[in-house]
Structure 1
């Protein structure tokens, strides 16, 4: 099953910055695209732990130092072993929670903490995507173990820049378990937008975990907010975020540039951390609603399978979350299935209506009086 999982970054490229062109300037367009700096006036992700299910995160990177804790190797359910820091997981953790120390790289939620749950072992090599056969499904997949571990060890958000073809029952159950614990689950939708299948059918294969119900699927956009050509397009897409030319931190030190839906998912995970920091009791479905309802660059039809509801806006998501804290839960963002309308009348109690009984009794009494009066009048006339 391990060979069925791969990191969803199309490329990690050499960084073009220099001492005269610092990384913060290189990444400013990403912060602007997500409206992050305005959100920082409210929260920077304090008291939130984001689990990164990926390759192991290098906690010695200066922007992550002192804020990364590691879980066991998720590829084995029985033994623990030392896992070397990975290029991909470190890059994603930096996008989420890098501190910006010494004018260095800054993540979307720079006050958040990272729980590293290693699952992808060798992320520098391309990995096969083999759909599991029905008779070859493990009792518990590495991802299922990682999700349960995250939910049981204090993670409020889980970032999954990984994917494979084909759902697994153990993963569905683990997703349900984590959601039930109030954990927000976010995953990259995949980089299959330019495959022959996608071109021939006008849609991409679904990637999991993004395809599981309750998981926020994230597509990639470019600097203009348009869908990146490689980004998968299918109904697992809920929202989108920058995924083209995104600066990221490197193992040990330095920076490079990322291309892929991995970066987009990590950035949205950072925004979710901001929301959970400000509104810790907001359930996962309402976090998803806040992200979707407040997105910018919404498609003309309101939604499409390329960018979902649009590009996530961190400040607007916080405002939407504030409104939702006192709102009734809704199935989908921006939709009221039965309309608002007028309230239904209070049902009447069973049995006879007292008002009608009095009206009926009064009418009978008046009729009797009139009848008796008519008889008395007739008798008086006869006596005359």
Structure 2
């Protein structure tokens, strides 16, 4: 896909815990941004590590053996909201969304969960609705509460915001991924290698945060190749070309319209961008769901080998180790890399969850 597009010319606003621009793979990739929190330091300070990890998944260059993101020629606009991925106040989120809405960023990545008083929910929703109206394409993680209450993220509930679920390397929805009508798309979210939060080495992680970053990067690839398209058109082709659930209704409450497959747009030239001013998610709500041959249970998506399972990627063994991220199905009889190889000089394995 990178022979066609690597995300050049597209900026992704990462509303998160800040982005450490000194990371080798992020050197030269991170714009000044803004710190809307009351914490010391600017947008390039990240005491948690979560925002840095998401930025690397989107725009990491792989320099010095670090993470290679899916859109390594895109740029990151960091918007720092707090010390952790869970917020206790909606004020900084509102300010962050408003800043992103007036910026040059085309895509807004929300790999964050929120715990806020109900009195502040409408303020956040209003800011998100206005950002969608400004032409921003907003991806929000659905949350990791699939096994513990199944409470979808407040951010993903806003009409026009793309709620993202997580799937594993076999294309099956992750058991931790929340489900419901808020889910619009799915992306890889399990066994994803990112810089460790402790600041040294690299860790294998899971969470809808990872899936959201990969969905944002997929959009960056498509938008870079089609810069004249609107957010609605980019989203529409992503929905049309997504790997659909094998059974049950579409949209599925587990994976929405399916798993993102940017290669179908970039290489196979599939997907009709359609009308520029019509949001496909809002329009789809007015249409009846299509029913498959079975119940709407946790599905597998994609058709890598004609059986709905993506094939595992080979292990990279350069520079003393490393790991190639696994592919998501690209069509019957073919499996194309979605996240590209992540080459690491050193990697310290740990299982952590990214909201």
Q: How does 1:228-267 map to 2 (within 5 A)?
A: 228-250=174-196, 254-267=201-214
How many angstroms does 1:164 deviate by?
2.1
Q: Give the structure 2 partner of residue 217 of structure 1.
A: 163
- The Cα RMSD (Å) is 2.8
Q: Give the structure 2 partner of residue 49 of structure 1.
A: 11
Q: CA separation of 1:298/1:41 partners in 2, compared to 1, >3 Å: closer, same or farther?
A: farther
Partner SS, residue 34 of structure 2: coil
Q: CA separation of 1:317/1:234 partners in 2, compared to 1, >3 Å: closer, same or farther?
A: farther
1:73 aligns with 2:35: yes
How many angstroms does 1:49 deviate by?
0.7
How many angstroms does 1:192 deviate by?
0.5
Q: How does 1:170-181 map to 2 (within 5 A)?
A: 170-181=123-134
Partner SS, residue 116 of structure 1: strand
Structure having the larger proportion of residues in helix = 1
Q: CA separation of 1:278/1:257 partners in 2, compared to 1, >3 Å: closer, same or farther?
A: same
In 2, Cα distance between equivalents of 1:59 and 1:230: 30
Correspondent of 1:280 among 227, 232, 242? 227
Partner SS, residue 324 of structure 1: coil
In 1, Cα distance between equivalents of 2:246 and 2:184: 12
Correspondent of 1:155 among 105, 115, 125? 105
Is the CA contact (8 Å cut-off) linking 1:62 and 1:253 kept in structure 2?
A: no
Q: CA separation of 1:280/1:253 partners in 2, compared to 1, >3 Å: closer, same or farther?
A: farther
In 2, Cα distance between equivalents of 1:215 and 1:87: 25
* Mean CA deviation greater in 226-235 or 159-168: 159-168
Correspondent of 1:324 among 264, 273, 282? 273
For residues 213-272 of structure 1, the C-alpha deviation after alignment (integer angstroms, 9 at most, x for no partner) is 111110011111101111001111011111111111346653111111000000101011
Is the CA contact (8 Å cut-off) linking 1:330 and 1:336 kept in structure 2?
A: no
Partner SS, residue 277 of structure 1: helix
In 1, Cα distance between equivalents of 2:179 and 2:286: 26
In 1, Cα distance between equivalents of 2:40 and 2:130: 24
Q: Give the structure 1 partner of residue 146 of structure 2.
A: 193
Partner SS, residue 68 of structure 1: coil
Partner SS, residue 66 of structure 1: coil
Is the CA contact (8 Å cut-off) linking 2:185 and 2:257 kept in structure 1?
A: yes
1:60 aligns with 2:13: no
Partner SS, residue 69 of structure 1: coil
* Mean CA deviation greater in 163-172 or 59-68: 163-172
How many angstroms does 1:80 deviate by?
7.6
1:183 aligns with 2:136: yes
Task: Please report the TM-score for the alignment, with normalisation by the length of structure 1.
Answer: 0.66
Q: CA separation of 1:226/1:115 partners in 2, compared to 1, >3 Å: closer, same or farther?
A: same
**How many equivalent pairs are there?**
279
Partner SS, residue 144 of structure 1: helix
In 2, Cα distance between equivalents of 1:176 and 1:184: 11
In 2, Cα distance between equivalents of 1:321 and 1:59: 36
In 2, Cα distance between equivalents of 1:144 and 1:328: 25
For residues 96-151 of structure 1, the C-alpha deviation after alignment (integer angstroms, 9 at most, x for no partner) is 0001225542101100000110113145xxx5x77x8xxxxx7xx21121111112
In 1, Cα distance between equivalents of 2:276 and 2:19: 38
Is the CA contact (8 Å cut-off) linking 1:95 and 1:248 kept in structure 2?
A: yes
Partner SS, residue 158 of structure 1: strand
Partner SS, residue 70 of structure 1: coil
Is the CA contact (8 Å cut-off) linking 2:141 and 2:163 kept in structure 1?
A: yes
Q: CA separation of 1:226/1:249 partners in 2, compared to 1, >3 Å: closer, same or farther?
A: same
Q: Give the structure 2 partner of residue 108 of structure 1.
A: 70
Structure 1: 5+ residue stretches without partners: 1-38, 133-137, 198-203, 339-384
For residues 27-52 of structure 1, the C-alpha deviation after alignment (integer angstroms, 9 at most, x for no partner) is xxxxxxxxxxxx32221001111010
* Mean CA deviation greater in 318-327 or 85-94: 318-327
- Report which structure shows greater RCO (CA 8 Å, sep ≥6): 1
1:144 aligns with 2:74: no
In 1, Cα distance between equivalents of 2:259 and 2:285: 19
Structure 2: 5+ residue stretches without partners: 289-355
Q: Give the structure 2 partner of residue 269 of structure 1.
A: 216
Q: Which has the larger radius of gyration?
A: 1
Is the CA contact (8 Å cut-off) linking 1:237 and 1:307 kept in structure 2?
A: yes
In 2, Cα distance between equivalents of 1:162 and 1:105: 21
Q: How does 1:325-344 map to 2 (within 5 A)?
A: 329=278, 331-332=280-281
Partner SS, residue 176 of structure 2: coil
